Amino acid sequence: MFALALRSIRQRPGRFTSTLLSAFLGAAIIMTFNAMHDTAGQPGVDSVSAESLTTSASVVGGYGSLLVFFAVASTLTVNVRQRADEIELLRCSGATPAQIKRMVVGESVVVALVGALLAIGPAMLGGMALLDVFQDSGQVARSVDYSFGSVALMSGLWITVLAAAGAAFLAVRRATHRRHPRGGVRKFFAYAALAVGGIAVCSTFGFSATDAALMAPAAYGAILLSVGFALLSPRLLKGLLDRLSLTSPSGYLAVRNMRRRAVELSGVLMPLILFTGMATATLYMQAVESDAIEAAGIPKSIDAKNLETLNLVVVGIIVVFSCIMLVNSLYAATTYRSREFGQQRLAGATPGQVLGMIGVEGLVVTVTGVLLGTVAALAGLIPFTIVRTDATWPDQGLGIWFTIVAVAATVTLGTSLFTARRTLRTPAVAAVTMAA
């Protein structure tokens, strides 16, 4: 398995760049925060410092693991889909589905392992910087020394490799089946995430306004709802497109292509929904919490400082990962459509109309992702705000939300249009010939 995978990687290393980057960043984040477990486990560390370190490692480590899987899954899904012709040729040459699965999974494991190993050095530096942040804020004593040990190393390697293997297996499983799968497993996890997320959100009303764990069920509920919507994104997008009708040439082309490519576009919708939902819920909940503490006229406790630091760091991780996932997916998917663009131009479409089509597609995807992510965020934010402040809506206004939407729109539309513009530089006949 690994011999065939290594040969494939050596032949075309460029196709694995996105997976390598996702694995590298994911492993770096996981090891950076799990190094806090190693640091907290040293002899002589006081209980307050140890609790601050282990809490940050546990919370962000969980987020990091989830995002690593989605990031690697997103890039691998696009990669495997673009290799459909190669996989079909292997099948016609006598390769069994099991052999193809072993090859693709082996490629992914090798690339993920390389990315994780490359991340060790940056993770060590990141862990030192993170410990300095905790010490500067008073959450960890100055006497605590940094340690990068087995917990950080093994968690980074194992989580990254397992995420890559699992994502590759799921992606190639769809590609090697002649009949389209019904997506039963995906729907099961989607509805399970929505159900558990709804229960978590409703449980917020069982807490008191001063309960230290009040934010937990609301935040995790919003995250699970975001995950559920992300998994159902192909069905939700198809439902929207069935009701959307645009009469302009670019709009007509966009809607027609998106109806045909709804499953492929789910790779873009997933990070958009997760980014919008998680960032909106986390930032607004933290703002509501900070204002409530300030209104009460009491200084922030160590636990409150820990929570604020974690929330800001988590949002930073979400932004970085979501942007990387979006850029990887959009760049690969748009570049792969060079033949389609060439055929449209040979059929009479102008480059401006093709760019307009890409712009409409990006706008529809952005609106859909932002809408679903916002619904998931509000489902957790409103119960939290009611219990914490007795108000229905937070007082912070729409500034935070507009910033989140601006980031999502800039990354989505900017990457799509930039990549499409570069692709259109190739003459139409050459694009069709080279991709054939």
Contact between 271 and 372 (Cβ < 8 Å): no
> Quick one: DSSP state of residue 393?
S
Give me the percent of the chain exceeding a pLDDT of 70.
85
Please identify which residue in the block is written with the tokens 């011999």: 3
As a whole number, the mean pLDDT across the chain is 81
Contact between 215 and 285 (Cβ < 8 Å): yes
| Cα–Cα dist 80/87, whole Å | 9
pLDDT reported for residue 174 = 65
> Quick one: DSSP state of residue 14?
G
Q: Is the pLDDT of residue 122 over 90?
A: yes
Predicted structure pTM score: 0.77
How does pLDDT run across 240-274, given as a tens digit for each residue? 777 776 667 666 777 777 777 766 777 678 778 88
Q: Is the pLDDT of residue 405 over 90?
A: yes
> Quick one: DSSP state of residue 426?
S
For helices 233-242 and 215-231, what crossing angle results, to 10°? Answer: 60
Contact between 335 and 423 (Cβ < 8 Å): yes
How does pLDDT run across 16-28, given as a tens digit for each residue? 677 788 788 888 8
Q: Give the pLDDT mean for 352-379.
A: 89
Structure tokens at 39: 């640091």
State the pLDDT confidence band at 209, using cuts at 50, 70 and 90.
confident
> Quick one: DSSP state of residue 144?
P
pLDDT reported for residue 112 = 87
Q: Is the pLDDT of residue 383 over 90?
A: yes
- Candidates 23, 104, 43, 114; CA nearest to 321 is 23
Greater confidence, 64 or 400? 400
Report angle CA 254, 259, 263 to the nearest 5 degrees.
115
> Quick one: DSSP state of residue 16?
G
Q: Say what the alpha-carbon torsion angle 289, 224, 33, 49 is, to the nearest 10 degrees.
A: 40
C-alpha radius of gyration, the chain, whole number = 23
Report DSSP letters for 156-210, one per residue. HHHHHHHHHHHHHHHHHHHHT-SSPP--HHHHHHHHHHHHHHHHHHHGGGGS-TT
Please identify which residue in the block is written with the tokens 């980057």: 21
Contact between 281 and 318 (Cβ < 8 Å): no
CB neighbour list of residue 254: distance below 8 Å, 6 or more residues apart: 246, 356, 357, 358, 360, 361, 364
Report DSSP letters for 201-244, one per residue. HHGGGGS-TT-TTTHHHHHHHHHHHHHHHHHTHHHHHHHHHHT-
